[in-house]
Chain A
Amino acid sequence: MSGDQVIVGLEVHCQLDTKSKLFCGCSTDYRSDGPNTHVCEVCLGLPGSMPVLNKKAIEYAMRVAKALSCEVLEESEFSRKNYFYPDLDKAYQITQYDKPLAEKGVLEIEGDGGTKKVRITRIHVEEDPGRLVHMGNAERGRYSLVDYNRAGIPLIEIVTEPDMRSPKEARKFLNKLRATLEYLGVFDSEKEGSLRVDANISIKGSERVEVKNITSYKGVEKALTFEVTRQKNLIRRGQPIERETRHFLEARGITQSARSKEQEHDYRYFPEPDLRPLQVRSWLTGIVLPELPDARRERFVQQYGCSENHARTLTGELRLANFFEQVVAPDPAGLSAVAATWVADTLIGELNYRSMSIDRLKPAAFTGVLRLLKTGEITDKSGIEVLRIMLDQRLKGEACETAEEIVARLHLAKTSGDDEALRAAVREAIGQNKKAVADYRAGKAGASNFIVGQVMKMTRGRADPGELNRLIAEELQKGG
């Protein structure tokens, strides 16, 4: 293990969720509209246009700076980063260089060895470039189109110190950062393309490699895991690790060396002469931070009696935490325990399986399922079936039934002891499974489980397991 110490630092770019762009009044809500429909002379970089700073974007970035305990510079400034590329309409990006908005912060994460403070090097604000759409495939593209709708969307760049020690820690950092930004109301992680990450990774004692172009939370862990293996293999073979930039190819799960030419950029930074220096430190006092993930997690433990793990999962995403609180709101005392388990353990998995946002499910609908579970009207197994039907109906855009309606339509109500249908099913199962019955009589433990399984199959999970066991025992004894 020694000498294999992994060192990771991240540069995270997130789109700030403002209504208008960073330097003009164009709307940022471009995703459902046609190309080049959210543009003006400023974000198209037409000759003579000038940037006017969107104060809201700076206020959002200041919230982040405060939440991450950063020092805000007395005076920061915007600079031009000069390079040619068709998606960059002015041929320079307005960003911050040697005088960023804030520096020296910290974000606490649940690291590999317990709680850990990841140091934040700097936070700055910059504009997003446009987007190229390649027609044809990558090898033999016929031509490319440029969409400037994205040009000028405000980005916040958060740079960490090399404080993470594994790809998993990097992912945890990102998750925590995402949650924090969402709690601050400045970021929406569900918007496509709202996150981009560059990661620096090295094995202690070797050169550092920069992996660019990571666009998902999972992608960070995947890209870094690939790099750890690649770099360790090189070391094992006694080959040097080159200091280089690599691109992450998400679809293939690998990193690929960027051509060295791309590394030779000289961005010729200089202060943006069309914007005045920023003096916003005094804004800090006016910023009141909302409840952040750590505080909310502790509250979930206190207020709802959640386990540490459930509380961490539930508060790890703003939408999830809000959903949980809305679900239990009608009856916190009665629903909290069952809701914590069902949201954290079941619902998340079902949503992930469908790549579905939790926004699609109304908390009240889910409360309906929990009530039926809580009162014992349906079994856990039926609960899952009801939930799946609900999610599928929403996914397909079909009419949405309530939990009660689904239960009634599919006769999922739990059978009770004096249910003759259940007794009949037990009798049928006993009649059809002579061998299991013989084993039971021979005192073989577990033989009755087989019959339980058969009856569950026949009743599609509606039978209350306790009742069922009692009935089976009763019927088997009768037969004896």
Chain B
Amino acid sequence: MAGTLTFSPDDRFHAFLTTCRKTEYGDGPLCGIPVAVKDNISTKGIETTCASKILKGYIPPYDAHVVQLVRGAGAAVVGKTNMDEFGMGTTTENSAFGPTLNPWDDGRVPGGSSGGSAAAVASGMVPMALGTDTGGSIRCPAAFCGIVGLKPTYGRVSRYGLIAYANSLEQIGPMADSVANVSKLFSVIAGHDPRDSTSCARPYAHEPSADIQGLKIGIPNEYFGTGVDPSVADVVRKAIRRLEELGATTVPCSIPSMEYALAAYYVTCTSEASSNLARFDGIRYGPAADSKKAWHEAYREVRKAGFGPEVRRRILLGTFALSSGYYGKYYAKAQVARANVRADFLRILESVDVIVGPTMPTIAFRLAEKSDPLSMYLSDILTVPANLAGIPAISVPCGKSDGMPVGLQIMGRHFEDERVIDVAYAYEQAVSA
């Protein structure tokens, strides 16, 4: 039954940038469920800033496809969640409006860039939320906050209305307090949308099954190598043993192209970002450009004042990578490396059903712990391959290290989101039993 939902949470972790006190909802599979939406997903009539000053005051005149679907399914869109500005970060500290705190330890980050959505779910304010994942932005905060997050197969969910950071890598995906709720939200948002030419007619109508008898799991060396915290690795190994107890078999494997994955990822995403973010010029929306100045001066001022340091850094990197004389050296090479990563994953996935490892190499960082950008970039090493390959990947909580949640990452073949959900479900059911 349709109705109105009153939403006035105690947002002490600063998960939300905008909350809607009263929200009407309709009938449907998500009837009356409060759903939080990451602030880079366009919501008609609700300010959408990507946590950037440059979009302050921007109220989209249209709903993103997923928002239409979620509303159509009866959910109450209760607010917009904090994030790293334009999705550029791994901690949600790069928000122009202040960081989100980790509900497990408010001295730590919730992960990013969908940190607001993760914290909103982890703190119990909402049972489910929409996030976006360009290089781990759903899975990292899911792991850090102890919730479930799915990065769907590229093309399975329409990106229409998602304010693009890196179009060829990112997907909108469900984040929730349980695999069942991830599955439920995913069944609403998956499917073809004629307005997104990269979306596919692969709807999702699946009830999670905990039966993984006979499942073949690939365990890549690289996911337990240097940089991965030994205690995190231990927690994940224990979880894998649990999957074996449930009837799965494991095979060690290797992904040689992982060596180039981070470089390929950062060149690709910054290149696309440099182009995507060029439209923010103060002419049509956001803080206005000074019309008394020559247009290029006005642009420069608006962009300098409007973008945070990490966004400026990535725009500069991407602009450089695409420049004439450097394109072949960086962008074109990154695409070759990307194709190799994809080929490696597909090759391994011919002989195993899923690939499993930690979601993040460590537990959630302390606030301001990662001060230099490079060490922050390195922490994405285990999540970016799935984006480069376009394959589905889910993070499910699998225990604690140092009192903080650890995420188990399960990656599968293209359009086998059902299978990674089943594996996560089997694990979740086994440990909660």
Residues of A within 8 A of B (CB): 41, 44-53, 80, 82, 84-86, 89-92, 143-144, 146, 266, 268-270, 273-276
Contact = CB atoms under 8 A, between A and B. Distances in A.
Contact of B163 (A48, A85, A92, A143): A48
Which of A49, A82, A92 has the most B CB atoms < 10 Å from its CB? A49
A220 to B, nearest CB: 30
B283 A86 contact: yes
Contact of A92 (B48, B198, B275): B275
B324 A266 contact: yes
Contact of A268 (B61, B197, B283, B323): B323
Contacts of A273: 166-168, 198, 272
Contacts of B159: 50, 274
Nearest to A276: B197
A22 B50 CA distance: 28
Interface of B: 41-42, 48, 50, 55, 58, 60-62, 64, 159-164, 166-168, 194-198, 271-272, 274-275, 278-279, 281, 283-285, 291, 295-296, 299, 319, 322-324, 327, 331
7 contacts: A41-B61, A82-B275, A84-B296, A270-B272, A270-B275, A274-B159, A275-B197
A52 B197 contact: yes
A266 B320 CA distance: 11
Contacts of B48: 47
From A47, A48, A80, A270, residue with most partner B Cβ within 10 Å: A47
B278 A274 contact: no
A303 to B, nearest CB: 47
Contacts of A276: 197-198
A143 B291 contact: yes
B164 A48 contact: yes
A281 B372 CA distance: 50
A47 B196 contact: no
Nearest to A91: B278
A89 B278 CA distance: 9
Given A48-B64, A51-B197, A89-B284, 16 more contacts: A41-B61, A44-B284, A45-B284, A46-B60, A48-B42, A48-B60, A48-B161, A48-B163, A50-B197, A52-B197, A82-B274, A82-B278, A86-B281, A268-B322, A269-B322, A274-B196
Contact of A270 (B42, B55, B327): B327
A48 B278 contact: no
Contact of A82 (B50, B284, B322): B322
Nearest to A23: B197
Nearest to B63: A48
Contacts of A275: 197-198
A71 B198 CA distance: 27
Interface centre among A52, A53, A92, A273 (most CB of B within 10 A): A273
Contact of A90 (B194, B196, B274, B278): B278
Contacts of B42: 47-48
Given A47-B42, A84-B299, A86-B295, A41 B62 contact: yes
Nearest to B296: A84
Contacts of A146: 283
Nearest to A53: B197
B215 to A, nearest CB: 33
B198 A270 contact: no
Contacts of A85: 295
Residue in B55, B162, B279, B331 whose Cβ sees the most chain A Cβ within 10 Å: B279
Contact of A266 (B161, B162, B195, B323): B323
